Structure 1
Amino acid sequence: MKTRYTYGGDEHVYVEIDDEMSLDAFFTSLSLADLVRAANIPGVTEICPANASFEVRFDPDIIAPADMMMRIKELESAAHAQEKRLKTRIIEIPVYYQDPWTHETLMRFRERHQDPAGTDLDYAAKINGFDSVEAFIEAHHSQPWFVSMVGFVSGLPFLYQLVDRDKQLQVPKYLRPRTDTPKLTVGYGGCFSCIYSVRGAGGYQMFGITPMPIYDPEQKISYLQDFMVFFKPGDIVKWKPVDRAEYDRITAEVEAGTYVPKIAQVDFDLDAFNSDMVGFNATLMEALNDA
């Protein structure tokens, strides 16, 4: 990994650990961002983490851009040396795959898609070498996912699948973005899955929808009353396929204020994961089953 430092105007320093997403790059980026935060550098006003990078916003009247960059660089060796471990949580997210709402939407925008004759899941299954949509869906939900970034729009998580790189699902975005995407759509673009936290434009392939809100600026939803955004970097997600009846039941519980997401506290150890991905994932999912 070769870290790249660049300025963003006169109020930002952008730090890119690697030009491609990997868990090693994520952990180094997170460690360095945490070290910058702990250093309490005068003038720093905000630190925004991303997939394998982060950005620091600062007041140039308090610290000069060159000095800000130098202070961050001084912490880089310590970030590389830190153990790549994280106390985090694994969360079960229900997904209604092949739901009617995303289906209606994707059919309205077929002229913007690589395969106008099929659906987004048809296309994803075909280009990833699966014999059926059902087999692709199984690959999508069978292993956990790592939240590497939250943002782009408020509360939207980017999720990276915890499997060998040669087993990563890869699906390009639409040829031209849609002007509409249903709220809580489970999407896919490149190697990242996501949940659209709000309704709006989008270019990711649409696979399904979750009944579990992940963003509530009014903080009326029971599990979002402490903070309006549900996800944070380092969270682990296990998708759970549900049918229409289960989707409707959860939606009713959310509206009644009685829905409680299924969550377990876990330790993520990158070295242990890299040495036995299948076994480590099984341990993570077992903790969720026991919750």
Structure 2
Amino acid sequence: MTRYTPGGDEHLFVEYSEEMTLEAFFTSILVSQELAVRKIDGITENCPANASLQVRFDPDVIAARDVQRELEDIEAAFGDVDKVLDTRIVEIPVLYNDPWTHEVLMRFRERHQDPDSTDIEYAARINDLSGVDAFIEAHSSTPWFVSTVGFVAGLPFMYQMVERRRQLQVPKYLTPRTDTPRLTVGHGGCFACIYSVRGAGGYQMFGVTPIPIYDVEQRQPHLRNSMIFFRAGDIVKFRPVDRAEYDELVAQVDQGAFQLRTADVRFELDAYTADQTGYPTTLVEALNGR
């Protein structure tokens, strides 16, 4: 049952579920999109998240109870329609086990659950995988849903598109680090992320991508329309690369010549629910024009 909670005088927090599910996420993003389409006087912005939505409004123009009434009306309407999202799938190259995150994680071993192993070794072990290679395969072989963007500018939180029993889960560091390399591919709980900037962090570190996802100067082709690349509803497919390819991609980025692989897709929640193994494969095939 949806729960509505006031957030001061100007915000209404809407919680669709106490746990992250794609069903709750879909409700959040579809309500958010419809709310934007309606352009209700007094509602100034809304932000969908993993299983919730926060709406900002001007109380001098519209009352909180009227905002809630609009949201309830939108949610009720979605009970009779298919949950479909027109979005895009994006390929993100990753150098797993890179030297930069390795140097940082070794500096902070005293803050880690297992000081005698690396982050990715620890993640493989607690997920009952045979080793690092098996973990990389599990991490990169299936797509991920971007459920929300934030915490710091442009950072995507991603939810793995597999059955619940197969989801990779790793706790955060016991206490946060004071350093995380920019563009680190991290993981905390059941969520993957990409650190858009260098800074503090507590997620396990598995590798780095050479692809900028946030740039105020918008120098890259894929950032020309927005300084923040990711948006909620994007689908991400990680692709492992070796050091030679990583360096080549960095050079392309430096020259402004890198072309990000993306494809438009239509995601149907019922189709995914019916076949959580085969359906994601059809989305990935869109990157190859199939």
Q: State the TM-score bracket (shorter-chain normalisation).
A: over 0.9
Residue identity matched to 1:79:
F
- Counterparts in 2 of 1:45-194, with a 5 A limit? 45-194=44-193
Moved more, 238-247 or 75-84: 75-84
After superposition, residues 249-288 of structure 1 pair within 5 angstroms as 249-288=248-287
Contact 2:83 2:270 in 1 (8 A): yes
- For 2:163 and 2:113, locate their aligned partners in 1 and report how far apart those are by CA, in whole Å: 27
> By how many angstroms is 1:70 displaced?
2.7
Deviation readout 1:139-171 (Å, 9 max, x if unpaired): 000111111111111111111111001111110
Which residue type is aligned with residue 208 of structure 1?
G
Q: Distance in 2 between matches of 1:180 and 1:226?
A: 30
Q: Distance in 2 between matches of 1:79 and 1:11?
A: 26
TM-superposed deviation, 1:193:
0.3
Q: CA deviation at 1:114?
A: 0.5
SS at match of 1:159: strand
Q: Residues of 1 paired with 2:67 and 2:237: CA distance?
A: 39
Match of 2:218 in 1: 219
Q: Compute the TM-score of the two structures, normalised by the length of structure 2.
A: 0.97
Q: Conserved in 2, the CA contact under 8 Å of 1:124 and 1:171? A: yes
The answer to whether the Cα contact below 8 Å between 1:31 and 1:82 also exists between their aligned partners in 2 is no
Taking the aligned partners of 1:273 and 1:70, their CA distance within structure 2 comes to 31
Q: Which deviates more, 78-87 or 24-33?
A: 78-87
C-alpha distance in structure 2 between counterparts of 1:116 and 1:171, whole Å: 15
* Between 279-288 and 15-24, the greater mean CA deviation after superposition: 279-288
Q: TM-score, normalised by structure 1?
A: 0.97
Give the conservation status (yes or no) of the 8 Å contact 2:220–2:258: no
Contact 1:35 1:79 in 2 (8 A): no
Q: Which runs of 4+ in 1 moved over 4 A?
A: none
Contact 1:113-1:174 at 8 Å conserved across structures: yes
* Matches of 1:14 and 1:152, distance apart in 2: 17
CA root-mean-square deviation:
1.2
Q: Distance in 2 between matches of 1:139 and 1:222?
A: 30
For 2:83, the aligned partner's letter is K
Q: Which amino acid aligns with 1:149?
A: T
SS at match of 2:206: strand
Which residue type is aligned with residue 186 of structure 2? G
In 2, the alpha carbon distance for the partners of 1:225 and 1:188 equals: 28
Which amino acid in 1 is paired with 2:165? D
Measured after TM superposition, the shift of residue 266 of structure 1 is 1.2
Paired AA for residue 158 in structure 1? F
Q: Does the 8 Å contact 1:15/1:54 carry over to 2?
A: yes
Structure 2 unaligned spans of 5+: none
Q: Equivalent pairs: percent with the same residue?
A: 61
AA in 2 matched with 1:20: E
Please say which of residues 64-73 and 159-168 is displaced more in the overlay.
64-73
